[in-house]
Structure 1
Amino acid sequence: MTGEVNFNFKGWCIFISGSTEGIGLAIAEEFGKAGARVIVNGVRREVAENALNYLRGRGIEPILFLGDVADRGNVVKLRDLIEGECGRLDVLVNNASIEVDKPFEDYDYETWRRLIEVNLDAYYMLARELLPLIIKGEGKVIINISSVQGVECEPTTGAYSVTKAAEIGLTRVMALDLAKYGVRVITVAPGAIDTPLNRVKSSNLDPGGSWEHAYSVISEAIPMGRFGKPEEVANVVLFLSSRAASYMTGTTVFVDGGLTALSPTGVKIKDLTKPKVK
C-alpha cells in the first residue's frame, strides 16, 4: 500500500457553509477536534454566537463568516477572508440549505427561485470562487451535502428534492473537470438525522406536536430503526476528506441507516395524523 491513513487535520483550513447548527455544526466540531482551523458560517447572529460559544467550550476557536452565501458579493468577501486568514482552503463543505414543503401546484416562483439560489447556486458559486484557494490547499476536497431526497422523493418536497438531485449532478461534473488539478469532489447524502430543524418539522407533522412520537413512526421505515446523529454524518465527511479516501471522487455516499436500500422507501406521513388508539 502507498500513503497512510491520517485523520489528523492539523494546519488544514476548512470552510463549512450553514454550520451554526445541526449537521454543519457537527462537521465544524469534528474537524476542530482533529486540529483543523474551522471557518463557520450562518446568517443569524444569535444562533452564530451560540455556535461559537459551543465550539469554544470544546477547545475549538473558530472563525465566523456571517452572511448569506447565496449572495455573490458575500462569497467574494469570504474568499478574501480565507485568503487573509489561511492563504489556502483545504476542504470546502457545501452544506447550507433550506427546505419549503408545499404541493407543486402551490409552489410560487419566488419560493422556487430562493431554494435554487441557496441550495444550488451557492454550491456552484462557493466552489467556483474558492477554487484557486482549494487548488493551493493540501486537502483539495469539496464535499457537497445533499440528501436521500435527491434520489427518492417524498410528496410536497418541491424545489428541495430538485436541488438535492442537482447537487449530485454538480458533484459529478466538478469531479470530472477538476480531477486534473488533484481536486476530489464527493456528495454526502444524509437520511433522517436528528437536527433542530427536523425536530421542528416532525413536531409539526404530529397531531400532538411531539417530535419524539413522529420520530418513532418515521423510524419504522428505517432499517436501522432510528434517526441518525449529526456526528455520524460529520465522521463520514472527515473520512472522505482524509487521505484514506484518496481514490474517491464523483460519487455519492449515503448516510441513511439503510433507507435507500428499501423499495419502496416512502414514509407514510399520513399515519401520523391518525387518532392515537388508547
Structure 2
Amino acid sequence: MKMFDLTGRVAVVTGGNGGIGLGMAEGLAEAGAAVVVAGRNAEKNGAAVATLEAKGGRAIAIAVDVTDEASVKALMAEAEKAMGRIDILVNNAGINIRKRPEEYVLSEWMEVIQTNLTSAFLCSHAVHPAMKRAGAGKIINIGSMMSIFGAPFTSAYAASKGGIVQFSRALATAWAVDNIQVNAILPGWIDTALTRRAREQVRGMHERILSRTPAGRWGTPEDHAGIAVFLASAASDFVTGTAIPVDGGYSVQGV
C-alpha cells in the first residue's frame, strides 16, 4: 500500500545491529527505506548491513557512542552526507543492569539512564535540524512495558523507560509545528540476548511470562517490523505522542 511505502526515505536506527533494532531495521528496509545502522560494535554493524543487503535493502553502518554528544552529532552529519537526508530516527539503543535498587551504585544508575534516556535526547536533538529542513520527520523511541509495570530488579531501567514515554510526548507537542511525529513503542517480553540473560538470572521467569501472555509465546524482534513501518510511514501522519505496547496482550491480561 502506498501509505506504507518508505521508498526514498532514510532511517537511522541506533542499536540497529541486533535484537529489536535489527528487527525494525529489516522491516523499514523491506518497506523501501535506506537504513543507517548505528552502534558501537563495528563487527555487529557490518553483519547487520550484510543481512539487510542480502534481503535487497540499502544500508550503511556508522559507529557511534550514543551517550557522547560529539559522537551523535557526527553520526547525524555523516548519515545525512552519505544518504542525502534523514527522515526517520529510531532511538533503540539500550541496556539494563539487573540489581535490586539498594545494590546499585551511582555509576551503574547513570550508565543505564545515559544509555537509554539521555541518548534519545542527544539523537533527537541532533537530527531535528535535518528533519526541519526536510519539512517532516518521524521519531520512534523504544520504551518498555516496564514504564507500565514495576519489578524489583529494574529500577534504573524502568525509570529510563518511563522517561522515554514522557520525553516522546513532550517532543510530540514541541515538534508538531515542524511536522515531526514522535511516538514510543513498548516491547513486552521479547526473545533477545538481553532477556535470555534475564531468564538465566531470574528463576521461574520463563514459565510466569508464558502463563500470563495471551499469545502464549515470547515475542520476537521481527514482531516489531510492522509497527516500525507504520510509525515511520505516511499511515501515521496524524498519530503522535502515543506509547504502543507490542506484548502479545501481556499488559491487558488481568489474571
TM range (shorter): over 0.9
The answer to whether the aligner puts 1:12 opposite 2:9 as a matched pair is yes
SS in 2 for 1:6: helix
Contact in 2 for aligned 1:90/1:138 (Cα 8 Å): no
TM-score by length of 1: 0.87
Distance 2:103 2:197 in 1: 22
Q: Unaligned regions of 5+ residues in structure 1, if any?
A: 207-212, 265-278
**AA of the residue aligned to 1:72:** E
Distance 1:174 1:11 in 2: 25
Contact in 1 for aligned 2:31/2:229 (Cα 8 Å): no
Contact in 2 for aligned 1:216/1:226 (Cα 8 Å): no
Distance 1:180 1:163 in 2: 27
SS in 1 for 2:185: strand
Residue deviations 1:51-91 (CA, integer Å, cap 9, x gap): 22222222223110112111111111112112212332111
The answer to whether the aligner puts 1:43 opposite 2:40 as a matched pair is yes
User: Hey, what does 1:128 align to over in structure 2?
Assistant: 125
Distance 1:162 1:82 in 2: 30
The answer to whether the aligner puts 1:137 opposite 2:134 as a matched pair is yes
The answer to whether the aligner puts 1:262 opposite 2:253 as a matched pair is yes
Q: Unaligned regions of 5+ residues in structure 2, if any?
A: none
Deviates more, 1:161-170 or 1:50-59: 50-59
Shift of 1:217: 4.0
The answer to whether the aligner puts 1:59 opposite 2:50 as a matched pair is no
Shift of 1:138: 6.4
**Which of residues 239, 247, 252 is equivalent to 2:238?**
247
**AA of the residue aligned to 1:174:** L
Q: Residues 57 and 189 from structure 1, CA distance in 2 versus in 1: closer, same or farther, beyond 3 angstroms?
A: same
User: Hey, what does 2:211 align to over in structure 1?
Assistant: 220
User: Hey, what does 1:275 align to over in structure 2?
Assistant: none
Query: Which has the higher Rg, Structure 1 or Structure 2?
Result: 1
Number of residue equivalences: 255
Runs of 4+ in 1 over 6 A off after TM superposition: none
Residue deviations 1:126-166 (CA, integer Å, cap 9, x gap): 11111011223365111101000012111111200000000
Deviates more, 1:124-133 or 1:134-143: 134-143
TM-score by length of 2: 0.94
**AA of the residue aligned to 1:166:** G
Distance 2:82 2:215 in 1: 42
User: Hey, what does 2:170 align to over in structure 1?
Assistant: 173
SS in 2 for 1:156: coil
Percent sequence identity is 33
Taking only aligned residues, the RMSD between alpha carbons, in angstroms, comes to 1.7
Distance 2:205 2:158 in 1: 21
Deviates more, 1:81-90 or 1:169-178: 81-90
Distance 1:260 1:5 in 2: 32
Distance 2:86 2:122 in 1: 15
Residue deviations 1:182-225 (CA, integer Å, cap 9, x gap): 1110011010111222223223335xxxxxx8534421111221
**AA of the residue aligned to 2:233:** S
Distance 2:5 2:233 in 1: 8
